A and B are shown apart, each in its own frame.
Chain A
Amino acid sequence: MGLKQNLHNLKEKYKGTKMAPAFNAIHTFLYLPNEVTHGGTHIKAADDLKRTMNIVIMALVPCLLFGMFNAGYQHYAAIDSSLRTDVLANFFTWDNLWIGIIKVLPLVIVSYGVGLGVEFIFAIIKGHEVEEGYLVTGMLVPLIVPVDTPLWMLAVAVVFGVVIGKEVFGGTGMNILNPALTIRAFLFFAYPTWMSGDKVWVYDAVNRTGTPDAISGETILGSYAQNQEVIYSNWDKFMGFIPGSVGETSTLLILLGAAFLIFTKIGSWRIIVSTFIGAAVMGLIFNGIVNADIITESSKFYGLMNTVWWEHLMIGGLAFGAVYMATDPVTASQTNKGKWIYGFLIGFISIMIRVFNPAYPEGVFLAILLMNVFAPTIDHYVVQGNVKRRLKRTKVKTA
């Protein structure tokens, strides 16, 4: 085959030069390399890191497509609330998709363009291969930001996230914090007005502020935090016809993604399940506090504490965080026992922050980042259990 031979010749030509990693990244994207085993096992299983990452991206695509339609739907529904009466008829329309194409696709392109650019530069400077970690991060980032996030902001955040969140630790596999969440956290703390409030979640709402055409798109969490009623039904919340970050709204599609990740054995079911359990437990505790009349309706925490525990699992970023972010194997706990503890605490703390954070009624990304930091500690104690068992064996013998 011509292309195969030409690329092989080019690879030999670039070998050992500065540009080799950049060329190899493109080459190995097209062709599985011709590398053979040396020493060790003579055969290898079919999976490599590219395949693993690709599965996660495939699991994210439904969320992205839905998010594109939802971007348009929320925009038009904010202008004309009668659209909400028949969601299914007014959701999958070309107009909605067009808004998605002009608003969401640029986020994806900027995320990948800037992030992979940084990756290539680091690979060339440090002389290692371009690693696949960013393939997933680049897809996650546009899905966890508000649709109206300015592109330059996203670009700045991606540079920060990839350099500080990952490359300074040595690249893919070495990072302590989830890079996508590092990017989200940077945006949140650097540009808080663009990441919260009732304007950023709906396309064009910011521009129209102060004009007669002003529209609003408060998230469900935002409404609850202000002790307001929400206009969305549980059906809307589960299906995802609600304002929120681009890809996080549809619990249904996220659960389908989770099923796919668990079936392919790429995502850890332990983390996903335990995160939901942790969130449910915290939700139940808050429900209990409300039932016991410990706080009154006038309390500023009432709205979110009174939210039924299972509703907490559908709204905000909890499901998305549990399925796609907490399961990042590099930053999560690495032992099976540790994964249960790690996931449970993420769910538990997420809801806690969600209820108590006065500035921003969501806590999933903060909870995951926090647990990223504690994951090695959890693992340490789990592994110490194994070490102790081993020592005990010796003592039984000598005693």
Chain B
Amino acid sequence: MSKDIRIKKGLDIKLVGIAEKNTTKSSLSSIYAIKPEDFHGIIPKLVAKEGAEVKAGETLFYSKSDERILFPSPVSGKVVEVIRGARRKVLTIKIAADATQVHKDFGVVDVAKMSEQEVKNHLFTSGCWPFIKQRPYDVVANPNQAPKAIFISGYASAPLAADLEYTLAGKETELQAAINAVSKLTEGKVHLSVGANSNSVLSKLTGVELHKVSGPHPSGNVGTQIANIDPINKGEVVWVVTPQDLVVIGELLLTGKFNAERTVALTGSQFSKPQYVTAIAGATISDLTKGNLNADNTRIISGNVLSGNQVEEDGFLGYYDNQITAIPEGDDYEFFGWNKPIFNKISTSRALTFSWLNPKKKYDLDTNTNGEHRAFVVTGSYEEVFPLDIYPMQLLKAFMIKDLDEMEALGGYEVAPEDFALTEFICVSKQPHQKIIREGLDLMRQELG
């Protein structure tokens, strides 16, 4: 049975630079990097020291809290550098890729005959476990807890997001194999969402409960979908996988190879030709954007403009990201910018801002904060873009004062930082909502488990 999700509260941020449906195959980068920070909350224990030769899929490090959770190298090559930060924290592991890639063979398996534990073990050893994340806390799933359901969002509503219908085309077999495997991990249902008018390969998969999603962003956020389908209560856990990671899992099951290759959207106004490229997780950004990027005073983001991470041109594609966005930096003053009528920026108010006149217009926004950080003043505006049954400002304030009882009561288990990206975008007081939520969730995880 399908249950449709209609979202009314939200905001579609329309930007210049949507990727054209045209994919080029990028050549192999010379350097790939894995950043343990992409796996929030994981303390890495290094296995592959500097100088070690690794195959694609071979372990680079494992989680200190659970030795079964392995993190693999995306390519075969030599570990050339391990960059450490304060207190010897591992920041980046750089691998120089071999010219011919060698994949570690994990063996072809028949999922139908495997038990839950066997599936788990296979995902552990092959380094595919980190693809499964959990709510609450938005971290790599804890394999010791049983999820009440698994959620897959096949609908991308974030600004300039990669069109999943396009990037997943032709991957039916991999996706179906992966669905068959992950559905063994839960007693509950596997919920899969697609856009209301989508013809995506996802809508042809079996063994899932299909949901058609419509409405503005954040309708594609898995957190919004969970809240609508089966909200998380205290003590419950749900697991979350992205479709592109399911493809990797599927290929592993079918071929025995760990292949972290994906189709990445190059988006934003600073690309001369916004389009798609194929890339392996951890690839050097400049290899993907070569000849296409206007890098002068540009913000490069691995991910989308709302919750992606800033990277330099010589930085690396994030482990989970399927999008690179490049927009102009906004480090300039604007004369009387606070009171003159504004036509070239987005606003949800009409305070001499005129984006409401032309809802279809695409904007070229820069990274200026458009004002200074202030205490919370305006009320009632967050609610207009926040579709969860939660009081966003009250929850943020509870997170700021670290009142654990309040955090729990007001819905702290149900949120992830990305759920607060839109409220952060429209915040008149320019408060760092996602950071507040992330720090609060870390505290809850530490104190409440």
Contact = CB atoms under 8 A, between A and B. Distances in A.
Interface in A376-394: 379, 383, 386-387, 389-391, 393-394
Given A332-B379, A386-B390, A386-B410, A43 B351 contact: no
Contact of A45 (B235, B394, B425): B425
Interface in B304-319: 305-308, 310
A43 B432 contact: no
Nearest to B332: A34
A173 B336 CA distance: 24
A41 B306 contact: yes
B41 interface: no
A32 B411 CA distance: 36
B409 A44 contact: no
Contacts, number: 222
Contacts of A294: none
A4 B350 CA distance: 28
B371 A51 contact: yes
Interface in A17-39: 28-39
Interface in B1-37: 13, 15
Interface string B24-54: 0000000000000000000000000000000
Contacts of A35: 331, 368-369, 372
B252 to A, nearest CB: 33
Interface in B392-449: 393-394, 409-411, 421, 424-430, 432-435
Given A34-B332, A48-B430, A334 B370 contact: no
A171 B345 CA distance: 29
A40 B424 contact: yes
B393 to A, nearest CB: 6
Given A383-B391, A397-B233, A34 B351 contact: no
B37 to A, nearest CB: 12
A55 interface: yes
Contacts of A155: none
Given A32-B338, A49-B377, A263-B350, A44 B410 contact: no
A216 interface: no
Contact of A49 (B308, B333, B355, B428): B428
B307 A334 contact: no
A178 B367 CA distance: 34
Nearest to B355: A46
A268 B365 CA distance: 28
Contacts of B410: 383, 386-387
A386 B389 contact: yes
B18 to A, nearest CB: 15
A364 to B, nearest CB: 21
A8 interface: yes
Given A35-B369, A35-B372, A329 B378 contact: yes
A75 interface: no
A45 B376 contact: no
Chain B, interface residues (CB within 8 Å), range: 35 or more
Given A49-B374, A51-B352, A31 B425 contact: no
A266 B349 contact: yes
A30 B377 contact: no
A204 interface: no
A57 to B, nearest CB: 9
Nearest to A330: B377
Contact of A32 (B308, B368, B424, B427): B368
A42 B346 contact: no
Contacts of A44: 368-371, 424-425, 427, 430
Nearest to B417: A40
Nearest to A39: B435
B375 A173 contact: yes
A370 interface: no
B429 A173 contact: yes
A197 interface: no
A265 B337 contact: no
Nearest to A56: B351
A347 B345 CA distance: 38
A133 interface: yes
A236 interface: no
A264 interface: yes
A307 interface: no
Contact of B342 (A33, A42, A46, A386): A46
Given A47-B370, A48-B372, A50-B371, A36 B347 contact: no
Contacts of A329: 377-380
B293 to A, nearest CB: 16
B345 A46 contact: yes
B338 A54 contact: yes
B366 interface: yes
A52 interface: yes
A231 B98 CA distance: 96
Nearest to B367: A36
- The winner among A41, A266, A268 for most chain B CB atoms within 10 A is A41
A336 B392 CA distance: 12
B301 interface: yes
A266 B379 CA distance: 9
Given A28-B338, A390-B411, A43 B366 contact: yes
B333 A8 contact: yes
Given A41-B424, A329-B377, A393 B231 contact: yes
Contact of B333 (A31, A133, A264): A31
B38 to A, nearest CB: 15
Given A42-B301, A133-B377, A264 B349 contact: yes
Given A37-B369, A48-B372, A172-B375, A265 B350 contact: yes
A26 to B, nearest CB: 13
B56 interface: no
A90 interface: no
Contact of A52 (B307, B337, B345, B428): B428
A41 B434 CA distance: 8
Interface string A262-297: 011110100000000000000000000000000000
Interface of B: 13, 15, 231, 233-235, 299, 301, 305-308, 310, 325, 327, 329-339, 342, 345-353, 355, 365-372, 374-381, 383, 389-391, 393-394, 409-411, 421, 424-430, 432-435
Given A40-B307, A45-B346, A54-B351, 8 more contacts: A31-B333, A32-B370, A36-B330, A36-B368, A48-B428, A50-B339, A52-B349, A390-B411
Interface of A: 4, 7-8, 28-52, 54-55, 129, 131-133, 170-174, 263-266, 268, 329-330, 332, 334-336, 339, 379, 383, 386-387, 389-391, 393-394, 397
22 contacts: A4-B335, A7-B333, A31-B333, A31-B336, A36-B366, A37-B369, A39-B434, A40-B432, A40-B433, A42-B308, A43-B367, A45-B345, A45-B370, A47-B349, A47-B426, A173-B374, A264-B351, A266-B351, A334-B393, A336-B383, A379-B394, A387-B409
